[in-house]
Amino acid sequence: MASTDQVALAKVNYYMRHNYYRQVQTTVLECMKKYGSDPVLLFWKAVGMIMEDRIAEGMRELQTIREKRDVILCTAMALSYAHKQCSTVDREAVQELETKVKHERQTCGEKALYFAGQFLLHTGRHDKAREYVDRMLKMSPGNSEGLILRGWIDLTCGRDSFVKKSVKLFDEALAMSDSPKPVEALLGKAKYLEIRHKYTGALDITNQTVVAYPGFMPALIEKMHMQLALQDWEQTVETAQRALSQEGHCIEAVRTIVLYQLCQEGKYTEAAAQLGELIQLMDRFEPKNHKLYYEMAKCFCRVSGRQRLVLQQTVTLVERAQSLASLNAEYATERAYELLLQQQVKEAMKAYRMAMKLDETSVVALTGVIHCQLLEGQLEDAEQQLEFLREIQASVGLSSELLYLLALLSHKKGNSGDDVVQLLNETIETHFKSLKGLPLGPKYFEKMNPDFLLQIVRDYLYYAPSEALRPGQPPSDVLSRCAGILDPLTRGAPGILEGVYCLARVKFLSGDIEGAHVTVQHCLDHDATYSDAHLLLSQVYFHQENYVLAGQSLEVALSYNFEVRNNPLYHLMKARIHKQTGELAEASHTLSTALNIPGIKKSVTGGRKPSKSKPPSLSDRVAVYLELADTHRLLNQAHEAAKVMQDAIDEFSGTSEEIRVTISNADLALDRGDVDHALVMLQSVTPDKTYYPQAVEKTAHIYLHYRKDRQRYAGCYQQLVEKRQDAHSYLLLGDAFMKIQEPNRAIEVYETALKKNPRDGALASKIGKALAKTHNYAKAVNYYEAALRAGGPSVLRYDLAELHLKLKQYEKASRVLKMALEQEHAGELSMMMDEVRFLILLAQVSQRSGDLTEAMNALSRARDIQVIVVSRTATEQPDAVPAQRSLAGSICRQLAEHSASMREFDTAIHLYKEALKQDDMDDKAMLALARLYLSLDNLDACQHQCLALLRTNKDNDAVTVMMADLMFRRNDYDSATFHFQQLLERKPDHYEGLARLIDLLYRAGRLKDSEKFLEKAETASPRSSQDAGFHYCKGLAERFMNKPTVALKHFNLARKDIRWGEQATVNMIEICLNPDNETIGGETFESVDMDGSSGAEKLDSEMAAVATAEKLLKELKPKPGSQQVAVLEAFHLLATKLKPNIERALSMFMEIVATERDHVPALYGMAAAYMVLKQTPRARNQLKRIAKMQWNSTDADKFEKSWLLLADIYIQSGKYDMATELLKRCLQHNKSCWKASEYMGYIMEKEQSYRDASMHYENAWCNGSQNNPAVGYKLAFNYLKAKRFVDAVDVCHQVLATHPAYPKIRREILEKARLHIRV
């Protein structure tokens, strides 16, 4: 039986609750295929007919089942209800049916009472329904169906006391039932949670329902509604698509998709087409549902953005409703409203009057008539009607629509701006009260009425300043109100582009130029033809001093809409651009043209018909006059400037903009040098005027800059505080004291301001920063801590942590930040953004304190939260998306930098790529990624990044250096040199580039070429001899030339510099520890002692150098995540050649390798220590590990030394082939590696290939700058063996010239070579 099919009945009940009466009938017909002509099904079919005004058909169906026991009671009730809906009511029949109901309810069963209760619920008679269900529950206590129905009755009755009880009934029913749980109980509990605004819980229960009842369409629809209430549009649309795939005619799903296209995407054409499909669906599946047509029209027209295509469809919807219920005044009123949205004022007036004929008591229709009268200029009639309406609504409170009309009337009558703004304020407060508690959805947008809000914003902006506020200046009340309206509007409906445009304009006028730029660009991305947005973009570019783009934006605006020529803002911006480019005559002409625009002058508007375009605002009118007067001043046309200023005084006397004219007139007086007259004019401004603070600021400016009177300067602001004791006035006074270096007095004033506005976090922050500026750090810390204990804003925790960080109190900073992070934020977006800021600062604190793991954890957590923030800002704050994506990229970049420092290169690459996904214009990430690829010898990937960077900035010095590096790696020396020449010709003193060039020339075997670049750098600046960068570059070149003593002198001159000091000190330490660049632990050349007599002297020299290195090491400060200092300390111990020190060094190297397994310098250090300790096999194992690693430029020097040491071991073992392979690898990466050439020469000498040996020794001799006598000796010896006697003699002379006390070469080679020459 159908009465036991809970799913089928739940479906019927759902559609009855939501007024889908034809869908009720369709559902019943589907069930009848299974159950046949079941009385319960026939009853609901008949009720569906009656509800959609097919009363006769419904009554005929009811007559066939009126004696069926289960439905006998509800059938009698339905017949009685149907009779009452007829135009002519049959009183006798109604009386008879009511008598029958009274009789049957005494004897009927629980099923009859149940269905009677359901019918009463759906017809809105909750108290009666509760009575019947209670009787049923007495008959059958614990009946789950009865409990669920009673729950629905309580839930929908509208009384909070009953609503609270409903959830207990649903829970009781669910507890009684096994799986699957009753679908009506699940839906009921979800609805209860929705009413209580617990949307996440409601969604969870709805998901359970969807899983338990897969084909149950109402569950999917409710899931869609809950996702929308949670503002998760993406999931909402996905669920709507899923509903349509199950049931192609799901009207609710199509409605949601149309709402998404209008509110989120702003795709009006697609939305209009989809609306057409929706109308067809309704015509087919709900053809008699006039209420549904009306509700659809009412919602969609209010989010249409007044787009013609969408309004055509909404008019069709409301006409359908009217055709079904022609006497309904609400529908006629809605038709009139939509005509008004299409600016058909006269037709709307007629339609409103027709609605009043249908219902003379319709306040909405009367309000519409008054609105039309105001728009038509019939002010007297409108005022009379408004007085009448005010009397009617006085007892219940004025509606937001009526308050708005009062504001509009006040504006039309020319009343003061303050009066109009006050009425608009009341309008907004009343309007937003009606939205309280509504979840996001069709009803929310209908009640919100974005079109109405945008009209109010337009009216507000008429009284807003036309110029952007200066940084730090608080926005006017008007702009704050506009922002308060537009914030929820643009978050809920970012697709309504006018709202986004207005928000951009408000941001611009409030001084948030960058925010305005992002928002207006978002607007133009959706609609490139939006001329007003192009005008605003021109203003933004102008403030960013990008005058070319500002001019281009004006031209684009004109190309899309020639009407902008009637907008004074177009001419103002054009004139300002002309002024900035020095075209003053053109600016004057443009502004003179603007004066003739209708509405600018009072005299011009008289006698003309009202323009269809909106009249220029008062502030724009003033701006034209003042800009023209200033242009004449710049043209030295003092007479014309004074004339225009006088016209402005006459034109705007008595208006709210009068003081603005006075301030500009004072500027003219200052230009004439009449300071006294300027002061007189400014001091005539009374405190009750809107622009009084600006007049005071101008007066203060004169005293400070013209009279040089600091006391009178501060006195101006003290006077302002006396007249206007608001927080902003105190703030200005505090800033003034800070400007004249009186921070203590500033702090006192800031504290007074904070008492007036205790919730102002920025002000509290200023006090703390002012205290810190006085270097009273202890007091600043105490202030922050006291303010936080008193419940101060979270920004103070951030400032306190920053102060602790500045004072190097890392533990305290960490504690403050962790306390801030422990606070719960319940998923609020702003709190999540704060949490990210705290985590980034915590990472900095941890890094400074040396806890790199904690820093990485904090940044990883920040990245995870920021991903959610970016996702949510896309729907909640679209204009903030670029900034949040940029922050996400920055976090990934910092993580990548940490990973790279820990030599986790693959992780670093992945993170850099992730950073670029978030912000593809992040030059820092692209540059760092390119450097990493270069260090890993991935030249193609590096080049790809470099080219991408050069596309955005052709003169990027860092990229130029990297491209040159690439060319060197590819042995394209000419191209590499060309890149460096370009850079160094442009900036000869670009020492970063010069240092890199010297390094690359050294590795390319062309170090001599560096001399000309060093000469250019020396002559480019007269201060080069004192420049640390130059000495560093010079020292680097000398070191590579194997001139350690000269190199040390130059490095020492750069040692104290902030930029170059650390690198210079490291080079000095490395030279001191190994001045002759010997292979530490190598045994091949160990036995060769050219001059035994000098051994003791050499040992003393080495020990002195080691002692110097120890002193220099103390100057280096370890960096978190870097092991460089630890490695150098270990090599210093190794250089002492004392066994305990060597063992300690080995232990240090092992500790580093334990934390970083592939740390090349530490592995090399271990191998060297093992060799010194004569543990060759262990050394070889470490060196083999290094030999298998991929070369990178960061560890290039240690790779080279490792290969040389391993080659030395192989030579000692007689494995010349393996040694040769390693030595070639050295020379591949560094063609100037004279030590590799020396080893190659040694191998050839051992193989008695003296010619080849001499060639390698010659390379070693030349690349070592002919400084090493041992290499010179070997070269001369092999020349002798190869019978190149003259060359042998030349080399001997070269050695003896620099090392005269080197007798062995004279005795063993020079004399023998001479003898052979003589022979």
Give the pLDDT score at 878: 66
Rounded Cα–Cα distance for residues 1001 and 1072 (Å): 24
Confidence of residue 1093 (pLDDT cuts 50, 70, 90): very low
Give the pLDDT score at 1164: 92
User: Strand ranges (DSSP E) for 824-878?
Assistant: none
The whole model's pTM is what? 0.62
Are the C-beta atoms of 966 and 940 separated by less than 8 Å?
no
Confidence of residue 236 (pLDDT cuts 50, 70, 90): very high
Rounded Cα–Cα distance for residues 386 and 406 (Å): 7
Are the C-beta atoms of 901 and 1122 separated by less than 8 Å?
yes
Give the pLDDT score at 1302: 78
Residue-wise pLDDT for 752-762, tens only, equals: 776 766 666 56
Give the pLDDT score at 519: 87
Of 926, 928, 1010, the residue nearest 968 (C-alpha): 1010
Q: Which tokens in the block code for residue 632?
A: 């004449």
Q: Which tokens in the block code for residue 754?
A: 């904070």
The sign of the torsion formed by the CA atoms of 576, 580, 581, 582 equals: positive
Give the pLDDT score at 602: 64
Residue-wise pLDDT for 1054-1074, tens only, equals: 998 888 999 999 999 999 998
Give the pLDDT score at 221: 93
Give the pLDDT score at 758: 65
DSSP 3: G
Give the pLDDT score at 1143: 92
Give the pLDDT score at 612: 46
Are the C-beta atoms of 587 and 579 separated by less than 8 Å?
yes
Rounded Cα–Cα distance for residues 646 and 534 (Å): 33
Rounded Cα–Cα distance for residues 1281 and 1294 (Å): 19
Q: Which tokens in the block code for residue 1256?
A: 């390698």
Is residue 690 scored above 80 in pLDDT? no
Range of weakest confidence among 200-204, 719-723, 1258-1262: 719-723
Q: How far is CA 180 from CA 2, 177, 183, 722, 878, in A?
A: 18, 8, 8, 73, 42
CA 384 to chain centre: 51
Confidence of residue 613 (pLDDT cuts 50, 70, 90): low
Instruction: Label residue 609 exposed, middle or buried (CB < 10 Å: 0-12, 13-18, 19+).
Output: exposed
Torsion angles phi and psi, residue 99, rounded to 5: -65, -40
Residue-wise pLDDT for 493-537, tens only, equals: 888 889 999 999 998 888 888 888 888 888 888 888 889 899 999
Rounded Cα–Cα distance for residues 625 and 538 (Å): 20
Across 1122-1127, average pLDDT: 86
Give the pLDDT score at 762: 63
**Any idea which residue has 């600018």 for tokens?**
600
**Which residues, in sequence order, are CB contacts of 1112 under 8 Å at separation 6+?**
1065, 1068, 1069, 1072
Give the pLDDT score at 240: 93
Give the pLDDT score at 715: 87
**Any idea which residue has 């799986």 for tokens?**
179
DSSP 1307: I
Give the pLDDT score at 188: 92
Alpha-carbon dihedral of residues 341, 344, 346, 348, nearest 10 degrees?
-40
Highest mean pLDDT among 769-778, 899-908, 1032-1041: 1032-1041
Q: Which tokens in the block code for residue 970?
A: 């590819």
DSSP letters, 864-914, are HHHHHHHHHHHHH-GGGHHHHHHHHHHHHHHHHHHHHHTT-HHHHHHHHHH
Rounded Cα–Cα distance for residues 1013 and 989 (Å): 10
Confidence of residue 187 (pLDDT cuts 50, 70, 90): very high
Torsion angles phi and psi, residue 610, rounded to 5: -60, 135
Is residue 1000 scored above 70 in pLDDT? yes
Q: Which tokens in the block code for residue 1042?
A: 């194997």
Rounded Cα–Cα distance for residues 1238 and 159 (Å): 98
Of 183, 181, 114, 191, the residue nearest 152 (C-alpha): 191
- Amino acid (one-letter) located at 569: L
DSSP letters, 669-686, are HHHTT-HHHHHHHHHT--
Rounded Cα–Cα distance for residues 432 and 440 (Å): 14
Give the pLDDT score at 1092: 42
Is residue 1120 scored above 80 in pLDDT? no
Of 1317, 1316, 1269, the residue nearest 1293 (C-alpha): 1269
Of 1032, 1101, 1092, the residue nearest 1067 (C-alpha): 1032
Question: pLDDT: is 763 or 1145 the higher one?
Answer: 1145
Instruction: Label residue 87 exposed, middle or buried (CB < 10 Å: 0-12, 13-18, 19+).
Output: exposed
Residue-wise pLDDT for 345-402, tens only, equals: 999 999 999 999 998 888 889 999 999 999 888 888 888 888 888 887 776 678 888 8
Across 1042-1063, average pLDDT: 90
Rounded Cα–Cα distance for residues 181 and 233 (Å): 29
Rounded Cα–Cα distance for residues 419 and 402 (Å): 15
Confidence of residue 898 (pLDDT cuts 50, 70, 90): confident
Are the C-beta atoms of 185 and 144 separated by less than 8 Å?
yes
Rounded Cα–Cα distance for residues 1190 and 1188 (Å): 7
Q: How far is CA 959 from CA 929, 983, 1001, in A?
A: 12, 10, 18
The sign of the torsion formed by the CA atoms of 1275, 1281, 1287, 1292 equals: positive
Of 575, 666, 556, the residue nearest 620 (C-alpha): 575
Is residue 611 scored above 50 in pLDDT? no
Q: What is the mean pLDDT of the chain?
A: 85
Give the pLDDT score at 771: 72
Buried b (16+ CB within 10 A) or exposed e, 165-197: ebbebbbbbbeeeeeebbbbbbbbbbbbbbbee
Confidence of residue 793 (pLDDT cuts 50, 70, 90): low
Question: Is 1107 strand, coil or helix?
Answer: helix
